[in-house]
Amino acid sequence: MRLQLTSDLNICRILNGMWQVSGGHGQIDPTNAVKQMFEYVDAGFTTWDLADIYGPAEDIMGEFRRQLVANRGQQAVDNLQVFTKWVPRPGKMTKEIVEKSIDKSRTRLGVESIDLLQFHWWDYADRNYLDALRYLSELQNEGKIKHLALTNFDTERLKLIHQNGIRIVSNQVQYSIIDRRPEIRMVPFCQEHDIKLFTYGTLCGGLLSEKYLGKSEPKAADLTTVSLKKYKNMIDQWGDWGLFQELLLVLKEIANKHQVTIANVAVRYILDKPAVGGVIIGARLGLSEHVEDNARTFQLNLDTDDLGKIEAISSKSNDLFRVIGDCGDEYR
């Protein structure tokens, strides 16, 4: 259930993703969101993934931390792990620009030092990202950041960053039964250099669930969240709705065998992959709640027969590495 990511960071291997509070997954009420965050933490889900661009995510986390300290004391908040992202517009980077952005996140979160700062850069042609990372490393040495990480960087750029002497703890990438691109280049490099992967899209926005088993292909109007739209497009590139239904049938068979859900199987499959440190599952705080279902993932062990059945379906699909490219290439 937990991983010693670094000497000072022990994390839950299912991370609570806060992209869902940014506006494309239904209207989130901050008061109800904070209330439900207590339920996640009480169930052992203490690790949170957010970003400066996820609407009010950092502010909601800051308020949660304040209430946690007020109600339960400093020790309770010390058991929380908060990962955020900095997603700047490409362009010239100075120490002042970088520090101002990090200080803003620190203020919103109410922390002296950010547990894990995950850096994203939209345009590889603009090599100022290396300057940004050097300044982030300086801020790490100054104590404003505990650990430095990446989001949606490909293997080529990860190698370049490593060659420039910048210590990276993790890279956040899309990885699921549908999208296995990380296995081609990213995983081998991460294994060699002790870098963990935090994965998102592992449930394809909820498409990998009983809800879509045996159902006709949804129309665009039926895809009511940005996640559903995004990952339905990924499934279209992976194969077609017929093959996806074959996959859901197999996953349901495996789920029934272990008395769990399709989502549990999909998450466990990725958690067991080499170099994977954790899976990020979106939390629609105050709108829907999956704490009990998520917890069942940790009691599940997939056997060779289960894995063989999944592989048999995957072998019929398109190679997304050839179709899209390496990790993060869909954004560039």
pLDDT per residue over 221-275, tens digit each?
999 888 899 999 999 999 999 999 999 999 999 999 999 999 999 999 999 999 9
Taking the mean position of all CA atoms in its chain, how far away is CA 141?
Answer: 26
What is the mean pLDDT of the segment spanning 151-157? 98
Taking the mean position of all CA atoms in its chain, how far away is CA 156?
Answer: 21
DSSP notation for 139-165: HHHTTSEEEEEEES--HHHHHHHHHTT
What's the confidence (pLDDT) of residue 141?
A: 98
What's the confidence (pLDDT) of residue 32?
A: 86
CA–CA gap between residue 332 and residue 317 (Å, rounded): 24
DSSP notation for 26-68: SPPPHHHHHHHHHHHHHTT--EEE--TTSTTHHHHHHHHHHHH
- Report whether pLDDT(1) > 80: yes
* Percent of the chain as helix, strand, coil, to the nearest 5: 50, 15, 35
CA–CA gap between residue 45 and residue 163 (Å, rounded): 35
What is the mean pLDDT of the segment spanning 54-61? 94
Considering the chain, what is the average pLDDT of its residues? Answer: 95
∠ CA 248-308-243, nearest 5°, is 30
What number of helices (H) and strands (E) belong to the chain? Answer: 13, 10
What's the confidence (pLDDT) of residue 132?
A: 98
- Whether the pTM exceeds 0.85: the reply is yes
What is the mean pLDDT of the segment spanning 150-157? 98
- List the CATH code of the domain at 2-331: 3.20.20.100
- Report whether pLDDT(158) > 70: yes
Give residue 29's pLDDT band: very low, low, confident or very high (50, 70, 90). Answer: confident
- Report whether pLDDT(151) > 90: yes
What's the confidence (pLDDT) of residue 26?
A: 59
What is the mean pLDDT of the segment spanning 137-157? 98
What is the mean pLDDT of the segment spanning 89-115? 98
CA–CA gap between residue 159 and residue 190 (Å, rounded): 10
Lowest mean pLDDT of 27-41, 59-73, 83-97, 126-140, name the range.
Answer: 27-41
Residue % of the chain over a pLDDT of 90 = 89
Burial state string for 131-157 with b = 16 or more CB within 10 A and e = fewer than 16:
ebbebbbebbeeebbbbbbbbbbbbeb
Q: What is the pLDDT of residues 264-297, one digit of tens each?
A: 999 999 999 999 999 999 886 755 567 888 999 9
- Report whether pLDDT(27) > 70: no
Give residue 308's pLDDT band: very low, low, confident or very high (50, 70, 90). Answer: very high
What's the confidence (pLDDT) of residue 24?
A: 55
What's the confidence (pLDDT) of residue 299?
A: 95
Helix (H) or strand (E) holding 85: strand 81-86
CA–CA gap between residue 11 and residue 84 (Å, rounded): 14
What's the confidence (pLDDT) of residue 289?
A: 63
- Report whether pLDDT(108) > 70: yes
CA–CA gap between residue 247 and residue 313 (Å, rounded): 6
